[in-house]
Amino acid sequence: MDINLRGTKTQSTYVFVFSSGPSVARPAWPGLRRPRGTAYVCISPEIQTCVISSNIPFFLRSSHVSELLQPAWPEWIESLSALFGHDDVWNGVGWGSAEDTAKQMFNAYLDAGGNFIDTANGYTGGTSETFLGKFIRERGERDRIVLATKFTFAMGKGDPNAGGNGRKNIYSSLEGSLRRLQTDYIDLFWMHNWDTLTPVDEVMSSLDDLVRAGKVRYIGISNSPAWYLARAQSLAEFKHYDNFCAWQLEYSLLERNIEREHIPAALEFGLGITPWSPLASGLLSGKYKREKGSARPAGDGRLTVTKESGNPAFLKLFTERNWKIIDALNEVSKEIGKPPAQIALNWVTHRPGVSSTIIGASKMEQLKDNLAALDFELPEGARKKLDEVSQPENQYPYLFFGPEMQAGVTGGAEVRKTPGF
């Protein structure tokens, strides 16, 4: 498949970033059935696929939320905990798809030329990795596949050493992932989240040991402060540890806070940024309208369910500022004749520092629509309009680094940094 990316023609292949597993729900819910096995699963589960170019990869990871179980059904929570070993679906993080559907998509993705697969040890309590291990073994193409997984989040309750970024959990998480994935090495091992406790040296030395042992090829980081990344990379350079090569962070028209510290840090230390939630959990997809007299969404989608969950990751979306951005996005959509989702994705993929973009799709048509975001150049006027309406508030100390204050630093003379230095 040929795509036009930032004006450069590149030969591309499909990439499928995978997170699978059954989603438990009441059998009476519309659109749900009970397949062979023990859990109820969605009849149209969310599945993911993407494009990777020869110079800039576009990763996709399953990051969809199943419908929340209601408090009136506590027995379903017990069943869920017994099945998955945790209550993630109760917390609104019941990721996954039926095994047969996941396998079909996995094979279709590989048949299309894909080779990169991303998951995590905690996705549906390890079911994602178990499915993947089975699928990869059946295909017999482990060496062709670039396989990534993550550690940090606890797989159970009550044991502080069953989670976090300490050496004990890093090692045990990796061994569990290797066993479920039926492989003897991981191509990319991600630190899923900063745990706020473990010394940086312990994290980096532990990961370096795994690289030197041949169990891990490369390491990445996600959801961390910029200062933490700077310390980790500097420590790795000083002590000759292997260092992080990529950074997964939330980034979209509605969430641009990483532009203050994270993107400059990534450019300085040579990491590729992989934005997750570029459509802001679907709020930028064009299918949601705001409730009358409220900042909350109305429409057919997961946000109409999760808006009542109390989860701050979702509640932060429902603001007057964000609806103004969505209004501008819809205006641009009408002006250039492209769907809002394509425009939002196109905007993210062209941001400085971005080398990959995580997207999600619930059906093949949606996937194709998302991939079409790579097929056009956003007009300069449209891009400027979106940049301005979504511009983050200029706060201290960052206002001191802008052109107005820097003019006082240089005495009004024009000074610029030469690329490459």
Q: How far apart are CA 167 and CA 173, in angstroms?
A: 10
Judge whether 42 and 66 are in contact, CB under 8 Å: yes
Would you state the structure tokens that stand for residue 366, as one six-digit string? 């949606």
Would you report the helix, strand and coil content of the chain in percent, each value rounded to 5?
40, 15, 45
Q: How far apart are CA 64 and CA 369, in angstroms?
A: 17
Cis peptide before 71 (omega within 30 of 0): no
Q: What is the CA radius of gyration of the chain?
A: 22
SS3 263: helix
> Which amino acid is it at 201?
D
CA distance 174 to 247: 19
Tell me whether residue 301 is exposed, middle or buried, using C-beta atoms within 10 angstroms of its C-beta: 0 to 12, 13 to 18, 19 or more. Answer: middle
**What sign does the CA torsion over 262, 276, 297, 341 have?**
positive
Q: Give the pair of three-digit tokens for residue 270.
A: 């040579």
CA separation for the pair 185, 405 (Å, rounded): 50
Q: Residue 102, Cα to own-chain centre: how many angstroms? A: 18
C-beta atoms surrounding 389 within 10 Å? 17
Could you tell me which of 355, 105, 127 has the C-alpha nearest to residue 220? Answer: 355
Q: What is the dihedral of CA 334, 337, 338, 339, to 10 degrees?
A: 50
14 in catalytic set: no
Residue 49 near residue 16 (C-beta atoms within 8 A): yes
CB burial string 154-175: b at 16+ within 10 A, e below: bbeeeeeeebbbbbebbebbbe
Q: Which residue has the tokens 């532990």?
A: 206
Q: Which of 14, 40, 109, 123 is catalytic?
A: 123
User: Is 349:359 a contact under the CB 8 Å cutoff?
Assistant: no
Active-site residue list? 123
